[in-house]
Structure 1
């Protein structure tokens, strides 16, 4: 996908890819339709198909004006209008990230910049982060990453002891020569911190329903 459409891609946030999902942004309805048609014709010329049923659009009105009238079409089909969507690319694979505090800080700062941008606010507006989160209905990225990490940890603990994913827990790596300085942060250190923060016992992982319930991070309403 990335190679086939490289000549179509624009800078973030006007074009973002995640696996086989595409996010296109434009200032006008006509601009969105033009981009959709260009991507459709390019992909279909390479024997790919842009799903009509899964394609949706969302209108963000940053002024006091009423929402514009009209529809968005893809070919001869009218595209459904949505009031919200979730872009997952920013935390793809986060279940296995051995994050340090500086990494969490960078992710949180980048997240708030995007949330302010999509809400039409800047730091000069002096709007608190909590108010912006309530407006867009998004929980902190650090909390969602912790949820993903603990969900994966629960999946691992429920696997049989002879499963490959469990055998790595007992690998002997003492023969590996370590470099100077402080050891790197490990994934298991993150897990221990998560368990302590949420007051969880790892034995609870065997109760899948309760484990999911305890680690779940709800989006603000």
Structure 2
């Protein structure tokens, strides 16, 4: 089934043009591009001593709430041939599911709304739906950015971002989607006193000083200190998952190096190419790495082994925090 879904997806991508504001599951785009665009925008407003207002919109049960009739309508409006619409309809016709729990599973029941979970085709179908539903309300990137159901709206004034949020809510909810007021959050960059709050349908949107956007922490002051600490923590979490391999004296340093680069270093480097690091933060990352490598080789600082030898034994190069790992 997944192979057939991939074939259908490839055919749909040839005829459907998704807006530039959509970064999710698009060719030559990734989370890093969206994170970088947001950070650059925030840094420019911070350096210019101007306020930037950002609302991070959360859609309630996004994939599960897509009305099937709305999906067919959006596909046709995007220029999909009727034969491909019927192919997708056939995939969803008479779809049934069960719920598993500790004591067994329920009887089968029909699923008449939403996209298939775990389907290879669902992300692109969702991109088609959001592309059509947001056609009248979205602005140019980076003022509006979407990564699947993660939406960020930016504006120079609180009143404007509040108005844009309401327009998004109306555009989505009139077509069967729902904005989660409790999970939608607002952040003001370079905030002055008394900048106020944003409201959605009379309810105050939660105001935050930091937000985890696509796995990377952005702060209202434009700094990246907390993101560096979380990258270090992510590295240690990855190290603990494979410590049995990294600390096994029977396993060669070459194998340990491969495991380390794949599991630990990848977690530590995620999103850092979008961050301007200071010397202190670079040092913080390198100290954490050296601790992990010393643990892996079973040596301590009392053994008086040079850092260059530690790195050379396990990973062969010094970590470069610009994420350009030359020489590997």
Which of the five TM-score ranges fits, normalised by the shorter chain? 0.3 to 0.5
- Per chain length, whose mean CA-contact separation is higher, i.e. which structure has more relative contact order (CA < 8 Å, sep 6+)? 2
Structure (1 or 2) with the larger CA radius of gyration = 2
- The structure in which a higher percent of residues are strand is 2
Q: TM-score, normalised by structure 1?
A: 0.45
